[in-house]
Amino acid sequence: MNSREQKKLQTRHAFFNAVLDLCMTGQSFGSISLRQVTREVGVVPTAFYRHFDDMEKLGQALVEDEMGTALSVLGERLQIGRTRSFDRQIAKSIQLFFQSIDEHPRYWQFMVSERFGGSEAVRNAIDNQIKLFAKIVGADLGLQPAFAHIDDYDRQLLAIAGLNLFMSWIMDWLDLTYSEQFDKDIDKKALEAKKQEQLHRCTRQAQMLFYGAENWKSSEQTILNDD
């Protein structure tokens, strides 16, 4: 990569970082203007169009580039696509998930807050990333002995249910992280106790879901009532 291409890539990531920083202050993506972003980056508005057609394209690229990378890193840590042998798999997976949030809080905050936000392009991009990750997780579950008896369709449903459950924890965990970072007078022991309590609660929820799935029989027919 030559210096010009490298500079262009750096500027592209500067736009991403500007959006993420603004969203972390409480703004929604739909409320962020092109001028706000260019001001944060330190370029004139016309320079924006060398990288993106409009704000929707910027949001879409942010999700595909940054969110996709965050999910890939998480998948690698969870050893997705391999038969896992470590003890306490569910508890360990929850710990690794929260570790990923702590390392990249802006990505996860953006994903959760904009998943049902006002930008259609961003919503669709996030939905595509989640569906892709759910497909990978579903295939991974097929490698694990506990879920080998469940068919592909039901493993996919289980993966989606698991991801939706995981994502429901993110904002509460981020709130604790922000408290730890910005409240100088916070009781550290009390905060750690709250984090451990959430970790325990989330682990139990995941165990209830996945242990219950071990007893599921894909051969059972779903009965739909017309009542």
* pLDDT attached to residue 210: 92
pLDDT band at 224 (very low <50, low <70, confident <90, very high): low
Residues in Cβ contact with 9 at an 8 Å cutoff, skipping those fewer than 6 apart? 1
Burial grade of 25 (CB within 10 A; 0-12, 13-18, 19 or more): exposed
- Residue 56 reports pLDDT greater than 70: yes
pLDDT, tens only, 69-91: 888 888 888 888 888 765 688 89
Which of the two residues, 183 and 66, has the higher pLDDT score? Answer: 66
Q: What percent of the chain has pLDDT over 70?
A: 91
From the CB of residue 34, how many other CB atoms can be counted at a distance below 10 Å?
Answer: 14
Domain ranges of the chain: 54-214
pLDDT band at 182 (very low <50, low <70, confident <90, very high): low
Average pLDDT (203-209) is: 94
pLDDT, tens only, 115-165: 998 899 999 999 999 999 999 999 999 998 889 899 999 999 999 999 999
- Alpha carbon separation from 55 to 111, 133, 171, 222 (Å, rounded): 16, 25, 25, 44
* pLDDT attached to residue 28: 95
CATH of 54-214, one of 1.10.645.10, 1.10.287.610, 3.30.60.50, 1.10.357.10: 1.10.357.10
Per-position DSSP letters for 32-61, written without gaps between them = --HHHHHHHHTS-HHHHTTT-SSHHHHHHH
